[in-house]
Structure 1
Amino acid sequence: MNHLISWIIFNQVLILIITNILLVIVTLAYVLLTRSMVKFAERQVKVVSNPILGIRITKMHISKVDASRGRTLTVQIELVNIGNGPAIDIQIDGEIILSNSDVNGEKVIPSYTEPRRLPFLMVGEKSEDSFETNVYFRNKAILYLFDDFREEARLNQHRININPEMEAYKASKLIVIVYYSNNLGQQFKSSLEIYVNLGMEMNVDKDAKSVTVKPKEIPTDDQEIELDNHPYIRPEFRSVLIKEKEIEQELVKRNSNRKLFA
């Protein structure tokens, strides 16, 4: 025992240093653990209110040319909140992306009107099909879309004649974009991308007992038509966090071009 006491007295400085080091290590571990718990708690709070707005396109209708020589493409939208928190201050917008042509170098055509708005959608709630949620494109946008359809048909016919094994030229793309926030002020963006075309029609020749399937023709001014989803390209849906500044930049760009395609 005397030997142990003598050893402790002789090495008390070393023991004090080791003790202090251990205290520092324990304190540092406690700080790191506490910080980790705080961050986890913050993430949990954010996850508690995480709205996700799903998007479904129910109809894409192009009208006849009206008395004012105008024509409208109406994209009917259905939204449903599949998240776990309310979606607030909802803005619904849209774009057409020309795949095979452009307008003075520009391939993106924004919708005719500024974003449609809904005040909120609760968890599990679905928007009603109405004027408030539709996306609209007008006159020039439709003419440029028809031009893109024609160019796609021309390119694919040339491809078939030259090399049928080449990858087919893609159809025009329609994107529906929805901005919204949660009750914590976080901003979200949902988008649905689909490829569209005029659809197909069947011609039955009873005498020859044959059926011919071909793309529908571009409608004349006195005809109306519904666009189809491209049957071989799957829609792409995304839902992401986004900064308010990014939303403002995207809207400013679209707003500056809307009247150019009216």
Structure 2
Amino acid sequence: MSPINYTRFFSRLRSYVISSRNSNQENLIRNKHERNYASAVCSMFAVAILAVSLSDYRWFWLRGGLCSSKFIGLNMFFAVGKLYVIQAPVPWNPSAPMNDIYQFKPNDYIELIGCVDTHSILILRLMITFICLAIVLSTIGFLLDVLGPIRYGLKFIRRHAFLHILSVILCTIVLGLCFYVSELIYDIQDKTRVKFGKKIEVQFDIAYYLVVISNGLLLFAIACALLRKYPTYDEEHFHRLIDDWSRHEQPLFIERTLPATISTIPISNEPPPEYYSEEDLLVL
């Protein structure tokens, strides 16, 4: 390759690096204006609370039935486990038909006897799926709020809080399923009550209210995203033109070399030329 080609290659490479650096700087400036830290903080706490509720065992509080555990939580149903059905008579009415007592053993340390059945286990695992989806969607929405992408699709999703809205819908479905599961558990406890006329209680516990709190935080995140004022398309185009003009503008520098001092002393040591008048010239 000749020296001229080398020079062209390096000049093109330098111009490409400079242009990419300028575009990256422009994108960083535009991303900074698109970020929404208020919505990001709300969604961050919502994700943390949902994760805590998913790992907590205190979803339902039971009393008065045959259930071997006082609390039922979603963390008991992550594993496939084993489900057994036992025929047992009604303690307070021997003439009544036999009850189906379900024994669910997810691991060697937990065993639920007379607490849940196949239908309630299916609903509880569906709740786990919905909460995991809500955590994933809220995490993606948190990243979009923090990074502030400027691509049209991601910007449209972030400005209209679609991911947070889907998370709220999923959390609302989970809360509705909690009511349905509580009725199923109540029916199981009612059929297997130890004494006739004993009061059966099935109440929501801490993890349920954690989902309610996370749902409220996601609503705040949606409000922060929808109520924030963003620049219009014309304003964005105008600012983009200004940035392009300021980036391509090259300042003009005029360099002048002026002496520091003006000296009347001759530089050389030669004597000055002799003075001749016009009369001397005429005489000559």
Q: TM-score, normalised by structure 1?
A: 0.26
Q: Answer 1 or 2: higher relative contact order, Cα 8 Å, separation at least 6.
A: 2
Structure (1 or 2) with the greater strand fraction: 1
Structure (1 or 2) with the greater helix fraction: 2
Q: TM-score, normalised by structure 2?
A: 0.24
